[in-house]
Amino acid sequence: MDELVVTRTAGLYCPAGDFYIDPWRPVDRAVITHAHADHARAGHRHVLATAVSAGVLRSRLGADLPLQGLAYGETVEHHGVKISLHPAGHVLGSAQVRLEHAGRVWVASGDYYLSAHDEANPTCLPFEPLRCHCFITESTFGLPVYRWQPQHEVFADINHWWRDNAAAGRASLLMGYSFGKAQRLLAGVDASIGPIFVHGAVEALNEAYRAVGVPLPETRLLGDRRTTDASLKAALSGALVVAPPAVHAGAWARQLGEFSDAFASGWMQLRGARRRQGVDRGFVLSDHADWPGLQRAITATGAERVIVTHGYEAVMVRWLREQGLDAGSLKTEYGQDRGGDGDSA
């Protein structure tokens, strides 16, 4: 039986429909699951994505992006392949791509969030399990060591850290990727503790979230010029400052005066990763499924065949085969910007 999705030089390709999913080279027709840089590249002639992701996609790929927006669950047909997009729970507008052709159903999940605690990312719709014959899954955190704490416990720790810093007259620099992680942090913290400032890269995406009705607390933009205003310096002394990891140890961060710094990421699960990041605190908060979440998602699909695209592929494939599933992997370019701002790990 012909494969519904294969790999080509440009990315994951659907031969029956003649289109790509999250291609990493410019193509004529692309279906994009979400706006992180490792999945959404510029230069495509036509893009299909969720309507709710239009703001973030255009913010990142340009206002003239040739985008056709679909509502979640809406179906279009191209060359006999029925295509629909369904919530992935990862970031605003993130989607799984459901393909139906000649009696077969495949689902390409992109990146998705699901954990053992049955809790959703508050800034986007929760992951929707889809029954299918073949499920294409990520495995960014596909090792048994990756098991997320309940979100309320993580945010209680963040709020406690912020309060202690504010009481000592320090700013709290909380770093997270500008798209997805930053907004999830803002949605989860206790805004009554003090003022919240954000880096320009974060604020641009906050605007896209607010435009589609995602509630975020009031934030103040902190520019690139060194702070000289006395009232601003006073406000910063007890403030939370949310910024991308690229500001760490740079001139932008030095304008904060005395501060404590922290990084929020699933990679903070490992002590060595926290040391390498060189921050005072590491908060384990991810927008990807943990090990139990990956298992739950795959089981819920009922798929007899599972293809792993990126992360700890070998471990996940081995576990899947032990469960009696037909499992393999596809080589992709996803997840390759792990240390930068391409993905909200």
In-domain check, residue 297: yes
Q: How far is CA 122 from CA 7, 151, 152, 154, in A?
A: 33, 10, 12, 14
Least confident of 56-65, 265-274, 285-294: 265-274
In-domain check, residue 334: no
* Residue 232 confidence (pLDDT): 81
- Please compute, for residue 260, the number of CA atoms within 13 A of its CA located in the half-sphere on the CB side: 20
Q: How many angstroms separate the CA atoms of 178 and 235, rounded?
A: 22
Q: How many angstroms separate the CA atoms of 243 and 221, rounded?
A: 10
17 & 126 share domain? yes
Percent of the chain at pLDDT exceeding 90: 86
Pairing of strands 305-311, 134-139: parallel
216 & 108 share domain? no
Nearest to 4 by CA among 103, 139, 84, 96: 103
Q: CATH number, domain at 193?
A: 3.40.50
Sort 167 into a burial class: Cβ within 10 Å, 0-12 / 13-18 / 19+: exposed
142 & 291 share domain? yes
22 & 136 share domain? yes
How many independent structural domains does the chain possess?
2
In-domain check, residue 341: no
Q: How many angstroms separate the CA atoms of 289 and 43, rounded?
A: 30
**pTM as predicted:** 0.94
134 & 11 share domain? yes
In-domain check, residue 322: yes
Q: How many angstroms separate the CA atoms of 298 and 136, rounded?
A: 9
Question: Which pair of structure tokens corresponds to residue 313?
Answer: 């592929």
In-domain check, residue 337: no
Phi and psi angles of residue 208, each rounded to the nearest 5 degrees, phi first = -65, -40
In-domain check, residue 339: no
Phi and psi angles of residue 211, each rounded to the nearest 5 degrees, phi first = -65, -25
Instruction: Supply the range of the domain harboring residue 60.
Output: 6-146+287-329
pLDDT digits (tens, 9 = 90+) for 316-325: 999 999 999 9
Rounded average pLDDT over 282-310 = 97
Phi and psi angles of residue 162, each rounded to the nearest 5 degrees, phi first = -65, -45
pLDDT digits (tens, 9 = 90+) for 205-264: 999 999 999 999 999 999 866 656 777 888 899 999 999 999 988 889 988 999 999 999
167 & 68 share domain? no
In-domain check, residue 340: no
The answer to whether residue 84 scores a pLDDT higher than 60 is yes
Rounded average pLDDT over 17-34 = 97
163 & 293 share domain? no
DSSP string covering 289-334: --HHHHHHHHHHHT-SEEEEEEESHHHHHHHHHHTT-EEEE----T
266, 138 contact by CB (below 8 A): no
The answer to whether residue 337 scores a pLDDT higher than 60 is no
Question: Which pair of structure tokens corresponds to residue 10?
Answer: 């440009």
52 & 137 share domain? yes
Mean pLDDT of the chain: 93
Rg of the chain over CA atoms, in angstroms? 20
In-domain check, residue 336: no
Residue 171 CB contacts under 8 Å (≥ 6 apart), including other chains = 165, 236, 237, 238, 239, 240, 241, 256, 257, 258, 259, 260
Cross-strand bridge partners of residue 241 = 173, 197
Rounded average pLDDT over 70-75 = 98
26 & 108 share domain? yes
Which of 248, 283, 318 is at the close of a domain? 283
Question: Which pair of structure tokens corresponds to residue 82?
Answer: 């029925």
277 & 295 share domain? no
Q: CATH number, domain at 135?
A: 3.60.15.10
23 & 98 share domain? yes
* Residue 338 confidence (pLDDT): 44
Backbone region of residue 58 per phi and psi (left: phi > 0; alpha: psi in -120 to 50; beta: other values): alpha
204 & 172 share domain? yes
